A and B are shown apart, each in its own frame.
Chain A
């Protein structure tokens, strides 16, 4: 089992979009995947047409069994319509609502999240955490649990501040994780989102990103209006517009994640 977290302390940069599509893509490719909505806004929950409810809160604070909090997503919502029936993997969501905000105050130690998800090590292949842009103590608990982090970022100059903050916070956890014999968190990628390839500003900023982070930078995800339609349809782009160039863009994200997960350290 691998735990992967979508992080950026800047709002609206594409964390939820990436989380839902990476999770869905791996499920379509046969994996058992859990998407944890760790954001009180509950965007990842409603992205799959699920009701907002305190699933994550119950799991962590009330020690609820996984059976009670996991919500299976029907494959029609995320797979290509003709292929949905034959979907090999599964996608499950731990839903969220406003109560997620009070998890941090009720958590007994920084290992709670790690301990809970370690239980699933034999049942599940991937766990994705979609996080809120506001840092909280819950983030520290997720830092102790995660194997890898993906940082989506816009290609605007001011977006890089959030990225810098997030990376500093990650580094602060290295010594703590070492102390507990946990591997260092792997940065799986910095993903330029909502990219306008024709504007000079975006081209410049992409180059700056590549200069700083080198091969960690993924191919940029172009800006497309269909993404807002995807969100309101409570579907993925694979399901809503199969064969579109945007679906292709999304598959490329899944490919890049798989490359990095399976590459030798």
Chain B
């Protein structure tokens, strides 16, 4: 074909081809032909997964109860369910507990949020001569976890939030898919600075609204890849994550919901039995990738954590203990239990010990109430009284079961 002939052919075709609508709308794509119908649907599906980023009120957001990472220590979590209305209470309580632990009555998070104080060493130096604890003492798990959240809040205030949280729209609220800690950090910033806060770079920000992407449903695989890319999950959180992925692979209908389980650990432990809940054929690679692990042996070790004794599970989570540390502690614990089970104490003994403990505990709490800053005292007293009531109830329960 000569160049001239080619040109003529092109001209003839051109008007026809240009008349084709260039649309990928699933409703019309099929009609256009080029077999676009199915592709148009796939692309529409991909689009619906992605939503533009919007600013959502932090008060309309509720945490996702099965997400693998616990952002606040377990004992605080027991006292207050993590809800938007409780966040400030939780932080107030948390700060008071750190004040008690460290003996620094005027410990305040604001200088940290402002970037004026960076760690406890510096802070303590400023106020040397204070009757507080020695600065050589390493921070407790509670203090370390609080400071990590405060650091996150400070960095968000300084540099902005680079990664929006992801949310699922529910009937009357949004549920967090990823970003519980970022959401908590926004609460702290709102609590301390409110809306219209002027950031170090001069920009003004409303902390009551957090940048978010709304997704259609909680996807535990996306959650897992987010967690692996951005955060260092501790061993217990990883065990929880593995459990969620296994439940997803086997089908959620096989398992009880979190609210039907006695404890959060029991919920995740539903897949603890590796023989009953095998990794489905062909899914091993996907699971390893999602967990960021390299071999099946590691998967087994994390799965084994699901059977840890309850207190070790909580301790491991609060103190960020590693899988290896937890495994060794479990072995040690097993050998101790084997000895004590043989000489099981009578219930009465146990009860009187508990009563003695309670008196001790109450005295200690009274002392603590007196030692905190007077402005924080009423709040702490209320909290401690609630705890004491709960303890008394607990003892009454035991009494009853004993007499029954």
**A interface list, Cβ under 8 A from B:** 32, 49-50, 63, 65-67, 70-72, 74-77, 87-88, 90, 92, 108-109, 116, 119-120, 122-123, 180-181, 229, 233-235, 240-241
Contacts and interface: CB of A to CB of B under 8 A. Distances in A.
A123 B13 contact: no
Contact of A120 (B17, B32, B43): B43
Given A50-B22, A92-B24, A120-B43, 5 more contacts: A32-B39, A65-B47, A72-B32, A181-B229, A241-B1
B375 to A, nearest CB: 42
Nearest to A235: B10
B342 interface: no
Contacts of A240: 6, 10
B42 interface: yes
- Binding site of A, secondary structure by majority: helix, strand, loop or mixed? loop
Contacts of B6: 229, 233, 240-241
Contact of B17 (A65, A70, A74, A123): A74
Given A233-B10, A235-B10, A123 B39 contact: yes
A3 B18 CA distance: 29
Contacts of B162: 108-109
20 contacts: A49-B17, A63-B50, A63-B53, A66-B47, A67-B26, A71-B24, A72-B29, A72-B32, A72-B34, A74-B17, A76-B17, A90-B39, A123-B39, A123-B45, A123-B46, A181-B229, A233-B7, A233-B10, A240-B10, A241-B1
A65 B32 CA distance: 20
A122 B38 CA distance: 13
A241 B35 CA distance: 24
Contacts of A229: 3, 6
Interface string B1-45: 101001100100110111010111110010010111001101111
B52 interface: yes
B49 interface: yes
Contacts of B45: 123
Contacts of B14: 49, 234
Interface string B214-230: 00000000000000110
Nearest to B211: A108
Contacts of A76: 13, 16-17
Contacts of A241: 1, 6
Interface residues of B, number: 36
B116 to A, nearest CB: 28
B229 A67 contact: no
- Binding site of B, secondary structure by majority: helix, strand, loop or mixed? helix
Contact of A72 (B3, B16, B36, B49): B36
Contacts of A65: 47, 50
A126 B198 CA distance: 45
Contacts of A233: 6-7, 10
Contact of B43 (A67, A74, A180, A235): A67
Contacts of A87: 34-35
A49 B11 CA distance: 12
A67 B10 contact: no
A74 B20 contact: yes
Contacts of A74: 17, 20, 34
A63 B43 contact: no
A88 B26 CA distance: 18
B52 A67 contact: no
Contacts of A119: 46-47, 49-50
A63 B214 CA distance: 13
Contacts of A32: 39
A233 B52 CA distance: 38
A250 to B, nearest CB: 16
Contacts of B29: 72
A180 B229 contact: yes
A88 B38 CA distance: 12
B346 to A, nearest CB: 56
A76 B16 CA distance: 10
Interface string B199-235: 0000000000000000000000000000011000000
Contacts of A72: 22-24, 29, 32, 34, 36
A122 B49 CA distance: 12
A120 B39 contact: no
A63 B13 CA distance: 35
Nearest to A65: B47
B331 to A, nearest CB: 33
A90 B32 CA distance: 13
B42 A122 contact: yes
Contact of A66 (B17, B32, B43, B228): B43
Nearest to B49: A119
Contacts of A63: 50, 52-53
A67 B43 CA distance: 7
A75 B34 contact: yes
A240 B52 CA distance: 41
Instruction: Report the 7 A-B pairs with minimum CB-CB distance, sorted nearest first.
Output: A123-B42, A65-B47, A63-B52, A71-B22, A119-B46, A233-B10, A70-B24
A123 B24 CA distance: 13
A67 B17 contact: no
Interface in B239-272: none
Nearest to A70: B24
A221 to B, nearest CB: 20
A67 B27 CA distance: 11
Given A77-B17, A233-B10, A241-B1, A122 B46 contact: yes
Nearest to A117: B46
Contacts of A180: 229
Contacts of B47: 65-67, 119
B43 A70 contact: yes
A241 B5 CA distance: 11
